[in-house]
Structure 1
Amino acid sequence: MISWLSHRRNRSRLFRWSTILSGFAVVQLLVQALNAVSGFLVVRTLEKPDYAWFTIASGMSATLAILSDSGVGIAVTSIGGTIWQDNASMKALVQAAMRMRLKLAAIASVVVAGISLWLLLSNGAGFVSALGLTILVLAPIWQISSTAVLNVVNRLHTRTRQLQVADLVPAVVRASLTGALVLLGGLSPLTAMAAVLAAHILQYSIVRRQVLPLLDVVPYPGGIEAYTARIWKMVLQLMPSSTFWCLQGQLTTWLISVFATTSEVADLGALNRLSIVYAVFGGPLGQYILPAFARTENRRRLWLMTLALLAGTFFFSGLLLTAAWLKGDWFLWLLGARYAHLHQELLLVLTGIAISTLSGIVWALNNTRAWIRRIWLTIPVTLISQAAAAFLFDLSTVKGVAGFIIATGAVQCCHALIVCCLGLVYPKSVHAG
């Protein structure tokens, strides 16, 4: 390390990246703090049935975003990592991706609308409320899809300021709207979702204005059909896994919605709100680490990046779980008096969140490098582990669902690590090819 720092070029590089990442970290912490304020205001203000409906609607919104992507974002990042300096090629790639996401969004909207209405009605929401929440779930799908594709350009170009603005301004608007609704006594599941909708629309407007000038250098780029074929090839490989993981991401909410009462749905949704502490990883991971991981061809650097990311995640999770064990009341205070009794559930849910976060990070690395050839094995491995866990845990309680998450998440994490190691050692054997 000392010999590496003895070179002026390396010291300059370290200083530059430290400055960039520290500045980005400050903004990301502010963004996550604002999102946390919005979330905890909703948790503390809404009654349990109302918060249960908001939890279901939020989950369906996440489901819709993933289904409408189905691997398109991963394909754009992977392909864009090789052509990001060619604006004409990037424009063709972006246009191909936008067209594909529009088609996928139309199909996903039909599926999600039906599931959303069913879950909301089965948990006591009136028809008008269920319909209104479902409409708010579907409304921003074009903005979410477009933002996801366009932001890849910002990330590959490491446009720090633009990325920060696109994250910070919508977070400020959502927190302000949510706070105003609380002060005016107008916060409800519908108005809380409307604040989320406003933030999505604003973010789309900002990102569109940032990225389009870069891509308008060529009015009619060629190669759209070729890029469409390349994206579709990756989507076909990723779609089964993406769809499966999309369903998995909301499985616990669905299970407890079916097997338990509305109160348990609210309890689990409130505890899951604490996953916001891991969102601090999301900014640097998506904006810097994954694009850099996609661009680099140095095997040693890939290993170092992977090991550093895993070590950082383990360390952070250890600190968080220790704090929850020693000072659980502090965490539960954030959720409000309705959830102050969930001491044992708190530690279990946070453990499940930690394992799921680690698994998600490793799969993100795998997908970015297109180490996906045998990704279909995820489905039988997960289903077998879940079938076994279903017999061991009571899915009508928060404790049981938390145990279910921990057991199955550990299996999924092991599988992700195996695929990652194979990719690092034998990249050609697991590449999409």
Structure 2
Amino acid sequence: MRVKVFNQLSSNPKYNKTLQWVKLLTVTGFAQVFVQVVSLLSGILVIRLLSVEEYALYTLANTMLGTMTVLADGGISTGVMSQGSQVWQDRDKLGTVLATGMDLRRKFAVGSLLVSIPVLLYLMQHHGASWLMSILIVLSLILSFFMALSGTLLQIAPKLRQDITPLQKNQVIMNIGRLALLCLTIFIFPFAFIALLAAGLPQIWGNLNLRKISAGYADWHKKPDPQIRQNIMKMVKRLLPMAIYTCFSGQITIWLISIFGTTAGVASLGALDRLSMALSFITIVFGTVVLPRFSRLPNNKGLLMKRFMQIEAGLLAMSVCIIFTAWLFSAQILKVLGPNYSHLTNEVVLKITISCLGIIATSTFSLFTSRSWAINPFISIPVSIASIAIGVAFIDISSLGGVLRMNIMIQLIQVAMNVSYSLIKISRTNNSLPTEQ
């Protein structure tokens, strides 16, 4: 009887499709958990072995790396994905799209370097780095920068084909390689540029492997196409202004403490950032489990409002529990970072609060964009800029605690704006489809 039932299920297309999804989510979930654990171990190793001064330089370099990557992309990867999705089954045409995107990416990368490197050099000199150390950090950063840029485009072909397992394996091996290189080098040479090299060198192998994976789906020997370039640039023109703003607003705490604070403050903020990254797993689970279910709900006002309020209540309850736990065990949590940061008992609670508010704001943003709703940037950007201006005007940002409190205010405004916009859009929804069964 059981065999008969199993055979019937195996021949059912819906069962097979569901099984494929379960396997995909399982592989992705376990891989991401492993990557997060290895990444956290690598980060803690860097925090504990680098001096406060070296870790401050490492934090500045990593922050600038994120800024450089966003500026050099400017919407190119989104444009390539959009163009590639139209020809994903044609190896030659997909190769042309990717080659065009890679050509644009190189040109944008040069512009990003010209803008970012002088700023980074100034900040490092401001915090007491020698010219030799500054140059070594910049050279190490450039390697990671170009590897990260190439990697995002190299992943597009397998993603379009949903060949996810090789991508996950590649990411896992790269993170293991980084941890191994750190263990072999940083105990002997505890410098910021060594930590940056340990992150960048495994990406060379990873990108070579990605090129082999994607070669089966796209011909990388194709030349750039002017028409495709024009189509990608249309997307870039729409997304670049927001990308430029994100470069500034997304790392506002680092920039402010770098300019108005101390070297120890920069290092402390970088260490706290590393701890809060452990919460990124929540965003991954949310995007995998909750977001798709909300996006496929029918256009029924009552149902959408009910599910939205349930999700927001769940996010709020989870955040309160996390913040309370951070307050209760702040001393124990800080032991992970080492003795240089054991005094940050209040700051760790503030930073965890910022991270939780950021999760709510980002998750809410994902909810309404999944319904093809989008806040007008002429509203969202001025509101965000105004919140930063108010914080700078009324809060002392010369200390780490002051910068963190200002960031809490900014995140609260972001949460209020995203939740309000979602409620307005849901309230205006027409009941054009039946309710969920």
- TM-score (ref. length: structure 1): 0.84
Q: How many Å apart are 1:77 and its aligned residue?
A: 3.5
Relative to 1, partners in 2 of residues 1:180 and 1:262: Cα closer, same or farther, differing over 3 Å?
same
Contact 1:74 1:368 in 2 (8 A): no
Match of 2:267 in 1: 266
Match of 2:278 in 1: 277
Match of 2:244 in 1: 243
Matched position secondary structure for 2:347: helix
Q: How many Å apart are 1:57 and its aligned residue?
A: 0.8
Match of 1:334 in 2: 336
Stretch deviating more after TM superposition (97-106 or 352-361): 352-361
Contact 2:334 2:341 in 1 (8 A): yes
Contact 1:45 1:187 in 2 (8 A): yes
2:101 to 76, 83, 97: 97
Written as runs of structure 1 = structure 2, the 5 A alignment for 1:211-230 is: 211-216=214-219, 220=222, 224-230=225-231
What is the alpha-carbon distance in structure 2 between the residues aligned to residue 310 and residue 74 of structure 1?
Answer: 28
1:305-343 residue CA offsets vs partner (Å, 9 max, x unmatched): x95986775565444323212222232111111111111
CA RMSD of the aligned region, Å?
A: 3.5
Q: How many Å apart are 1:220 and its aligned residue?
A: 4.8
Match of 1:345 in 2: 347
Contact 2:144 2:196 in 1 (8 A): no
Consecutive unaligned residues in structure 2, runs of 5 or more: 1-11, 431-437
Relative to 1, partners in 2 of residues 1:313 and 1:181: Cα closer, same or farther, differing over 3 Å?
farther
Matched position secondary structure for 2:216: helix
Relative to 1, partners in 2 of residues 1:298 and 1:73: Cα closer, same or farther, differing over 3 Å?
farther
What is the alpha-carbon distance in structure 1 between the residues aligned to residue 296 and residue 230 of structure 2?
Answer: 24
What is the alpha-carbon distance in structure 1 between the residues aligned to residue 120 and residue 139 of structure 2?
Answer: 10
Written as runs of structure 1 = structure 2, the 5 A alignment for 1:130-145 is: 130-145=134-149
Match of 2:388 in 1: 386
Q: Which has the larger radius of gyration?
A: 2
Matched position secondary structure for 2:336: helix
What is the alpha-carbon distance in structure 1 between the residues aligned to residue 211 and residue 342 of structure 2?
Answer: 43
Q: How many Å apart are 1:16 and its aligned residue?
A: 3.6
Stretch deviating more after TM superposition (309-318 or 109-118): 309-318
Contact 1:113 1:138 in 2 (8 A): no
Relative to 1, partners in 2 of residues 1:220 and 1:54: Cα closer, same or farther, differing over 3 Å?
closer
- TM-score (ref. length: structure 2): 0.83
Match of 1:4 in 2: none
What is the alpha-carbon distance in structure 2 between the residues aligned to residue 163 and residue 264 of structure 1?
Answer: 37
Give the letter aligned to residue 333 of structure 2.
Answer: F
Relative to 1, partners in 2 of residues 1:411 and 1:11: Cα closer, same or farther, differing over 3 Å?
farther
Relative to 1, partners in 2 of residues 1:197 and 1:270: Cα closer, same or farther, differing over 3 Å?
same
What is the alpha-carbon distance in structure 2 between the residues aligned to residue 354 and residue 322 of structure 1?
Answer: 11
Written as runs of structure 1 = structure 2, the 5 A alignment for 1:82-231 is: 83-183=87-187, 185-216=188-219, 220=222, 224-231=225-232
Consecutive unaligned residues in structure 1, runs of 5 or more: 1-7, 428-433
What is the alpha-carbon distance in structure 2 between the residues aligned to residue 23 and residue 405 of structure 1?
Answer: 35
The alignment-based identity, stated in percent, is 25
Q: How many Å apart are 1:291 and its aligned residue?
A: 12
Match of 1:5 in 2: none
Match of 2:411 in 1: 409
Give the letter aligned to residue 335 of structure 2.
Answer: W
Aligned residues between the structures: 414
Relative to 1, partners in 2 of residues 1:391 and 1:69: Cα closer, same or farther, differing over 3 Å?
same
What is the alpha-carbon distance in structure 2 between the residues aligned to residue 290 and residue 232 of structure 1?
Answer: 33
Stretch deviating more after TM superposition (363-372 or 165-174): 363-372
Q: How many Å apart are 1:107 and its aligned residue?
A: 0.1
1:180-219 residue CA offsets vs partner (Å, 9 max, x unmatched): 2244x22211111111111322222221121122112x97
Contact 2:181 2:198 in 1 (8 A): yes
